Amino acid sequence: MADKPIVIGVAGGTGSGKTTVTRSICEQFTDKTILMIEQDSYYKDQAHLPYEERLKTNYDHPLAFDNDLLIEHLHGLLNRKNVEKPVYNYKLHTRSDEVIDVEPKDVIILEGILVLEDERLRNLMDIKVFVDTDADLRIIRRLMRDINERGRTIESVIEQYVNVVRPMHLQFVEPTKRYANIIIPEGGENLVAIDLMTTKIRSILEERSLT
Ligand code: CTP
């Protein structure tokens, strides 16, 4: 067991392939070693607001996330304690009543559009990754996913993209690329990048278990 868990941040715009990159890395390790945390699970709880109000929230702004809770949980995991991860419901636009009991692991991958935006999160990371995919591919993926999995209409996805997602991406997401140690073009299709990441993680794990 490594003395201190490794934290990897995977940022990038909506539909860039963060989840695919993260899953591909996870597949190279056993379930006992690696853990994936989605920043989306830490969208602020909006259960006190009516559904119509929740529709108006800007989900691409840094203030939409409960980073205080996320940081508290990361500290717990770094101290080898279990945490209760919230479960987010994209159809209802708020947290559900359930939580998931998450066990600490040697490697924690934190994935989300704005994980590199908060300095406190960056300071906890050993490796900072930005998945860089062209905007045309990202909007195509987002359209397909939001209609198929998140209960949206084509009109609502386009309206949200043009009026909120795109401007927020340019203002808050894209500028965090400068903090990345590694920029991965074309996300999950980039097998060389996945391989490099896996090798690096293994080498840190070996270094840390040598003490
Ligand atoms: N979002 C939304 N409605 C909510 C909460 C979030 O539409 N109630 C959207 C935000 O607009 C944000 C996106 O969810 O842009 C964040 O998820 P995204 O990065 O697209 O998904 P991942 O699977 O994490 O990333 P990737 O597509 O890169 O794998």
The pLDDT-based confidence of 211 (bands split at 50, 70, 90) is: very low
ipTM: 0.95
Identify whether 211 is part of a domain: no
Sign for the CA dihedral angle at 42, 43, 46, 50 comes to negative
Kindly report, residue by residue over 72-111, the tens digit of the pLDDT. 999 999 999 999 999 999 889 999 999 999 999 999 999 9
In this predicted structure, which of 121-125, 161-165, 188-192 has the lowest mean pLDDT? 188-192
Give the binding-site residues of ligand 1, using a 6 Å CB cut-off: 12, 14-19, 38, 40, 43, 59-60, 90, 93, 111-113, 142, 165
Ligand 1: residue whose CA is nearest its atom 6: 59
Residue 18 lies in a domain: yes
Residue 179 lies in a domain: yes
Tens digits of per-residue pLDDT, 190-210?
999 999 999 999 999 999 874
Q: Which helix H or strand E contains 207, and what residues bound it?
A: helix 191-209
Residue 75: CA count within 13 A, CB half-sphere: 8
Looking at residue 187, what is its pLDDT?
74
Q: Count the helices and strands in the chain (H runs, E runs).
A: 8, 7
At residue 175, what are phi and psi to the nearest 5 degrees? -60, -20
Residue carrying structure tokens 């386009």: 158
Is residue 83 situated within a structural domain?
yes
**Smallest Cα–Cα separation from 116: which of 173, 76, 42?**
173
Mutate to test the pocket of ligand 1, among 59, 65, 141, 184 (most ligand atoms within 8 A of CB): 59
Determine, yes or no, domain membership for 38.
yes
Number of domains forming the structure of the chain: 1
Q: Using CA atoms, how far apart are residues 28 and 10, in angstroms rounded to an integer?
A: 16
- Report CA(14)–ligand 1 centroid distance (Å): 6
Q: What is the CATH number of the domain that holds 178?
A: 3.40.50.300
